[in-house]
Structure 1
Amino acid sequence: MKWQLHGLGILALLAASAFAHDVELKQDDSHRQQCSGMYGKKAWGGDVDPFIHVTLNKALPKEPSPLMSLIIFEWKDEELIGRFAPDDKDKLQKETICDRHNVDAGLCDEKSLGAFILEPNATERARAALISTAVNLTNPQPIKYPIKKTGFYCVSTYAFTGDDYKGIVTFRNAYGELPAPQIPKLAFYGGLTIFYAVIGMHGLNAMARVLMIIVAILNAGRNSFSFFLLLIVCMGYGVVKPSLGRTMIYVRFLAIGHFVFGVIYAVASLSITPDSAGPLVLLVVLPLAGTLTAFYVWTLNALSATMKDLVDRKQRVKAKMYKKLWWCILGSIMVIFAFFFINSFLFASKRVTDYIPEHWKTRWFVLDGWLNIVYLFDIGFVAYLWRPTMNNRRFAMSDEIAQDDDGFEIRSLASSLDEEEDLGTNPNNRMPGGARTEQSPAPAVTATPSRPQQPRQSLDVDHFAVGEDGDRWSEDESPRNSTERKGLMHKDD
């Protein structure tokens, strides 16, 4: 009950801190045009008809009146904005603003002075409504643009008289204030939450809840810790060797560096949008890419060395587990590279200006979604492979008995003992069939009944059950038992 109250409190804070998708309009090039994806009312549901609302700050009166050109359009209708001048035979550049020169050239009429120029019959040819007007900044009126269907909409402005202006553009969807490109993440991360809850349902205690909050806030910590654990597991820590020595120090330094660069990248990704990212973003990406590459190379090399060591020692079961881990890592790398090349091909096949308007609905999956799916599969596979079963516990505490080490076979033990008993006898006393005869006609000595032979246990099970009660050497056995025991004991013992 206490956790439920805390959860409701957090939701209330999030609801109170939710703001509309508002962006600023200014005269500079980076703010004079604002675009965003918008969903129709039927796409995600909602009680409000979606719309775009433009509010401009009022300017001081002066002569001539300060004018601002404004147009609201759907991106696919961008080709309807502007016209080529009659003397532009090569059609190199369109005239987009209706000024006095373009009025005289016949590209627009006197009533459209100060507005954006549109193609003839643009309103009939457009896929969505077009609003083009000249706004008097001394008395600006709010402009509301209704959204009838899903699309990528833009509000573009221009300082017609050269005066500064400021305003706010509100992109309001039917479902609420959340930006349209972010709404698919609700269902996606909701599904991930359910999967992670099912995976950790048996270990959900107070400390696990605290760790979940930390992991949710510090995504960089999650990645660094995951790579750290994967690397030491591939080195055989806890399964093949009890300690890594000084190597553990270097692994920790690499994990700390990856965590620091990951935090910087996370802060930068929250502060800088993908649309406005410039060349300086490489200073954030390259260090993180360097530590990530170091983790991948070191992990694969360590995994190969561990597998080779296990194969040489004939630890087949452990080697099989690490082989599955190797295929998991290799498959993840192949998926990442395949997804990267596919997205690069799609990006190269489109114009740079058309990529975002045409892929704004799926760009969230390219940036965030598919990586989380790969991570979920990897952590689920490793957790299943290293689950605490009875065999895994025995593997962690002891070595598997090599069944064919240097040609040694357990079934040859009885014949070797018989040969040792015959070392002191004369070979001529043997019959052709292998039976022995006595040299004197003395009465035959009654043979002592041999101990009942215990059934040989299967080689396929209980390789690590050394020292069971039925296999102990008794003190009343052959006087050679101490010598034979030394010959049969494992070299590591």
Structure 2
Amino acid sequence: MYSRKAWGGEIDPFILTKFAKVEDDTAAQNNLVSLVIFEWGDESLIGRPVPGTDDELATICDPANIEANLCTQEELGAFILAENATEAAKSTILSKAVNLNDPAAINYPVKKTGFYCVSTFAYSGHDYQGVVEFRNSYGELPAAQIAKLPFYGALTIVYAVIGVFWAFLYVQNRHDILPVQNYITAILIFLVVEQAMTWGFYDYQNRHGMNAFAKVLMIIVAILNAGRNAFSFFLLLIVCMGYGVVKPTLGRTMLWVRLLAIAHFVFSVIYGIASLSITPESAGPLVLLVILPLAATLTAFYVWTLNSLNLTMKDLVERRQKTKAMMYRKLWWCILGSIIVIFGFFFINSFAFAGRSAINFVPDHWKTRWFVLDGWLNIVYLFDIAFVAYLWRPTANNRRFAMSDELAQDDDGFEIRSLANSLDEEGAIPLEENDYERHSLERELSPVPPKPVQPAPQQRESLDGETIFAVGEEDADKFSEDEDEDEDFRKSSEERRKLTGEPSL
């Protein structure tokens, strides 16, 4: 329970307890039910040690404990509190015996945030029924889930902002869009809708409680969550296969990837519905029929994705496609970082919780349990999808250059040789010893200076060096310059032949 100051609201939070009335001729004192309401931190203040014993604790006021001066006759049937309970308690401890012949509703006001408990005991030994309502000031959501309301609202805004930036780049470069960028566009739109629906479900439940329409919304959210997971695995797999950047099409492989995504979606929906309808007490061996198919498709996605990423990187490295290999290396580090964060988070939480007793786990972590189970996974997913969208963002000329190859080179330098040397090496006529001086003289008389070999044009990276899609335009007069150079070369060659006496071609 949260105090009114913690989350605000229109009413003061309270705990209301109401027992069902029992109609019989039994004496009133035989229809008593013991009731105590307290904050978990004050649990040690309930009960008193029995005199003459080592560790026996008296918790219910009965005639024997009255004789032992552990409680009074007016407290008969109620829980026994410690002598200093009033001063030492962090919150008020309510203890009383309720007469089921004429039970009145008991309202316990909550002044401080805490984990509050309601405990009852059948003092008379008869069956009884009762209802307990925990009412927070902000609405109907349980206190352990209220933090999800602003969390999913913030996620919706963040995904919407990412979608706006992506839409701006998409429209700006709409004539140069790759197929894989269309898939990223679809999943960003889907994520905004899915997060908005999740936020809407918690907001509706907070306003109206868990009624029939809220249950329908819960099923819709479960289906959307299953669709997000399947779509995300599908997108990551085709990206790791090099779709749109290394390969223009995946052929029949795309069909198998889609079938795997559809199977994962179906099994995720079945698992989501089963988790909502099956309680831990009623779960039996048949629950494996729900878990095993989902685990199989999830494992298939993981193995196929990592194997495809390794093969794509290996192919790019062998072809010396440095820019593209750099992109997939960054994606590999992103996936590895996500796995490390996930396992690291589990390890840290397991280590932190190992030293705590099981009975204290929920009372000590009820505020953060939602984040451990759900919140941090959504943050990791947000960073992953934002990173993939950044690397594969639409830019100018990305369609033209995405499928182009860099010039593979073994070293970073260029060999510069004269054209005359090249021509002499290509001549198949061996030199006689007495011809050595004549050829040396011819080279000295040659007026043509050595012409450096122009490096082959290479695919250029963008200004920020993050993606291969942002590539500048080629010079418009490239071919005209080449023609002028060829004409100068022919004139120089003709002059050289005249000086050396070689016949014209």
Q: Do Structure 1 and Structure 2 share a fold, with TM-score over 0.5? A: yes
The letter for the 2-side match of 1:403 is Q
State the shift of 1:289 in Å. Answer: 4.5
SS in 2 for 1:176: coil
Which residue in the other structure is 2:18 paired with? 55
Return the TM-score normalized by structure 1: 0.74
Which residue in the other structure is 2:99 paired with? 136
SS in 2 for 1:181: coil
Query: Given the superposition, is the C-alpha separation of residues 291 and 437 from structure 1 closer, same or farther in structure 2, using an over 3 Å criterion?
Result: closer
C-alpha distance in 2 between matches for 1:61 and 1:97: 24
Indicate yes or no: 2:43 matched with 1:78. Answer: yes
The letter for the 2-side match of 1:349 is G
Instruction: Choose which of 204, 210, 213 in structure 1 pairs with 2:193.
Output: 213
State the shift of 1:358 in Å. Answer: 1.1
Query: Given the superposition, is the C-alpha separation of residues 211 and 297 from structure 1 closer, same or farther in structure 2, using an over 3 Å criterion?
Result: closer
C-alpha distance in 2 between matches for 1:231 and 1:62: 73
Which residue in the other structure is 2:468 paired with? none
Indicate yes or no: 2:334 matched with 1:370. Answer: no
Query: Given the superposition, is the C-alpha separation of residues 246 and 413 from structure 1 closer, same or farther in structure 2, using an over 3 Å criterion?
Result: farther
CA displacement, residues 186-217 of structure 1 (integer Å, 9 cap, x when unaligned):
22222211111111125399988677435743
C-alpha distance in 2 between matches for 1:390 and 1:419: 46
Instruction: Choose which of 155, 167, 186 in structure 2 pairs with 1:203.
Output: 167
Indicate yes or no: 2:457 matched with 1:456. Answer: no
Instruction: Choose which of 315, 326, 351 in structure 2 pairs with 1:345.
Output: 351
SS in 2 for 1:62: coil
Q: What aligned pairs does 1:295-334 form with structure 2 within 5 A after superposition?
A: 295-334=301-340
CA displacement, residues 167-189 of structure 1 (integer Å, 9 cap, x when unaligned):
32222222233322222222222
State the shift of 1:462 in Å. Answer: 4.9
Indicate yes or no: 2:40 matched with 1:42. Answer: no
C-alpha distance in 2 between matches for 1:413 and 1:398: 31
CA displacement, residues 72-123 of structure 1 (integer Å, 9 cap, x when unaligned):
000011111123434542x2x5343333444445443332222222222222
Indicate yes or no: 2:115 matched with 1:152. Answer: yes
CA displacement, residues 350-389 of structure 1 (integer Å, 9 cap, x when unaligned):
1111111111111111111111111110000000001122
SS in 1 for 2:356: coil
C-alpha distance in 2 between matches for 1:392 and 1:187: 38
State the shift of 1:67 in Å. Answer: 2.0
Return the TM-score normalized by structure 2: 0.73
Unaligned segments of structure 1, at least 5 residues: 1-37, 439-443, 479-493
C-alpha distance in 1 between matches for 2:437 and 2:282: 95
Indicate yes or no: 2:360 matched with 1:396. Answer: no
SS in 2 for 1:116: coil
C-alpha distance in 1 between matches for 2:438 and 2:120: 112
Given that residues 407 and 458 in structure 2 are in contact (C-alpha distance below 8 angstroms), is that contact kept between their aligned partners in structure 1?
Answer: no
C-alpha distance in 1 between matches for 2:286 and 2:6: 34
Query: Given the superposition, is the C-alpha separation of residues 159 and 466 from structure 1 closer, same or farther in structure 2, using an over 3 Å criterion?
Result: same
CA displacement, residues 230-250 of structure 1 (integer Å, 9 cap, x when unaligned):
112112223222344454444
Query: Given the superposition, is the C-alpha separation of residues 183 and 128 from structure 1 closer, same or farther in structure 2, using an over 3 Å criterion?
Result: same
Query: Given the superposition, is the C-alpha separation of residues 214 and 43 from structure 1 closer, same or farther in structure 2, using an over 3 Å criterion?
Result: closer
C-alpha distance in 1 between matches for 2:443 and 2:291: 88
Given that residues 429 and 436 in structure 1 are in contact (C-alpha distance below 8 angstroms), is that contact kept between their aligned partners in structure 2?
Answer: no
State the shift of 1:468 in Å. Answer: 8.3
Given that residues 241 and 309 in structure 2 are in contact (C-alpha distance below 8 angstroms), is that contact kept between their aligned partners in structure 1?
Answer: yes
CA displacement, residues 399-433 of structure 1 (integer Å, 9 cap, x when unaligned):
2221339x996756947742355434856545488
Given that residues 67 and 134 in structure 1 are in contact (C-alpha distance below 8 angstroms), is that contact kept between their aligned partners in structure 2?
Answer: yes
C-alpha distance in 2 between matches for 1:155 and 1:374: 38
C-alpha distance in 1 between matches for 2:228 and 2:7: 32
Query: Given the superposition, is the C-alpha separation of residues 408 and 76 from structure 1 closer, same or farther in structure 2, using an over 3 Å criterion?
Result: closer
Given that residues 431 and 437 in structure 1 are in contact (C-alpha distance below 8 angstroms), is that contact kept between their aligned partners in structure 2?
Answer: no
Which residue in the other structure is 2:246 paired with? 240
Query: Given the superposition, is the C-alpha separation of residues 410 and 104 from structure 1 closer, same or farther in structure 2, using an over 3 Å criterion?
Result: same
State the shift of 1:328 in Å. Answer: 0.4
Given that residues 429 and 437 in structure 1 are in contact (C-alpha distance below 8 angstroms), is that contact kept between their aligned partners in structure 2?
Answer: no
More helix as a share of residues: 2
Query: Given the superposition, is the C-alpha separation of residues 437 and 239 from structure 1 closer, same or farther in structure 2, using an over 3 Å criterion?
Result: closer
CA displacement, residues 17-59 of structure 1 (integer Å, 9 cap, x when unaligned):
xxxxxxxxxxxxxxxxxxxxx1122212233222111122222
Given that residues 66 and 72 in structure 2 are in contact (C-alpha distance below 8 angstroms), is that contact kept between their aligned partners in structure 1?
Answer: yes
Given that residues 163 and 189 in structure 2 are in contact (C-alpha distance below 8 angstroms), is that contact kept between their aligned partners in structure 1?
Answer: no
C-alpha distance in 1 between matches for 2:335 and 2:417: 42
Q: Which has the higher contact order (CA 8 A, sep 6+)?
A: 1
C-alpha distance in 1 between matches for 2:440 and 2:382: 67
State the shift of 1:348 in Å. Answer: 1.1
Which residue in the other structure is 1:418 paired with? 423
C-alpha distance in 1 between matches for 2:383 and 2:102: 58
| Percent identity over paired residues | 58
C-alpha distance in 2 between matches for 1:233 and 1:433: 60
The letter for the 1-side match of 2:149 is L
Query: Given the superposition, is the C-alpha separation of residues 108 and 437 from structure 1 closer, same or farther in structure 2, using an over 3 Å criterion?
Result: closer
Instruction: Choose which of 222, 238, 249 in structure 1 pairs with 2:228.
Output: 222
Instruction: Choose which of 387, 399, 415 in structure 2 pairs with 1:381.
Output: 387
SS in 2 for 1:203: helix
Which residue in the other structure is 1:183 paired with? 146
Indicate yes or no: 2:77 matched with 1:114. Answer: yes
C-alpha distance in 1 between matches for 2:16 and 2:421: 95
Which residue in the other structure is 2:362 paired with? 356
Q: For the aligned residues, what is the CA RMSD?
A: 4.0
Aligned positions, number: 428
Which residue in the other structure is 2:182 paired with? none
After superposing the two structures, state which structure 1 stretch, 158-167 or 262-271, moved more: 262-271
Which residue in the other structure is 2:27 paired with? 64
Unaligned segments of structure 2, at least 5 residues: 172-184, 198-220, 462-470, 488-505
C-alpha distance in 2 between matches for 1:389 and 1:277: 54
After superposing the two structures, state which structure 1 stretch, 409-418 or 243-252, moved more: 409-418
